[in-house]
Structure 1
Amino acid sequence: MKSFPWHNLLRPHPLFAHLPREELENLLQDEGSQERHYPQDAVILNEGEVGDSIFLIGSGAVRVTLRGTGGPVTLLAVLEAGDIFGEMAVLEHTPRSATVSAKEECILLEIAGERIRALLDAYPGMQVVMYTLVRDRLRQWFHRLGVGDPY
């Protein structure tokens, strides 16, 4: 059961703004959409693990870190309420590109990758927003890592 007021966060969110009201209702009632609660410092996703869902932060904040090939841990980003993560693994069918942990207690909406891909196919405007989100996130990470802009 979802206790967080997800409608208030999803309706104005750029990614979900293209969805008709009934589609948004279906998304929230779908068994592929689960509310998750994480205490501070809990690991939500591990770099390299297989995953097929995205997460929307309802409250709290998460840290996105990268270890890479045994080097030091690098903080890539701190994401807060309204932010999405996990999208790269869903779009590319690849292992998780980073570790995400709860910076503070947080409430997340986990949405199955299959459901997201179906929505992207049905609503082209959603595709544009998703790919813009991924592009901007990669630019931010490349800048943070001191690597040139890939675009």
Structure 2
Amino acid sequence: MRLFQSESDIETLIEKFNTCTLPADAWTHESHLAMGVWYLRQYNLTQAMLLVRQRIIIFNSSVGGLVSFERGYHETLTWFWLKTVDAFLDRFGRDKSLIETCNAFLSSEYALRDRALLFYQKEEVLSLEARTFLVMPTNTSLPF
């Protein structure tokens, strides 16, 4: 997992994401998660979800990202990852620096790429329904 070297690296990532100047190949799993950490340090979960949804769709369109039934914005995974970051922040604390928080999250089990599969069946989370609408996890025995 790539960690950030400075807070300015994270701030630059967010600025470029928000202004649609981030290269498409820089929009990695780590970038998505760092963006989630940044937004949830600024906004509550509901506000962050509304803003992130809008900004991902705009960003994807700006870089010519393919939007189809199989690719593009994913409502359930966006919610899942923001909910996961929010749960991490509740445990880790919201009073630490951005770089410390972001790198601690990225280094944790919370950031594992296939974490959603602990909560969802693969076919379920890859479905058109889950891409379009929020589908709640089927495995509710695990806390976020």
Q: Whose strand proportion is higher, 1 or 2?
A: 1
TM over 0.5: no
Using structure 1 for the length normalisation, give the TM-score.
0.28
Using structure 2 for the length normalisation, give the TM-score.
0.29
Q: Whose helix proportion is higher, 1 or 2?
A: 2
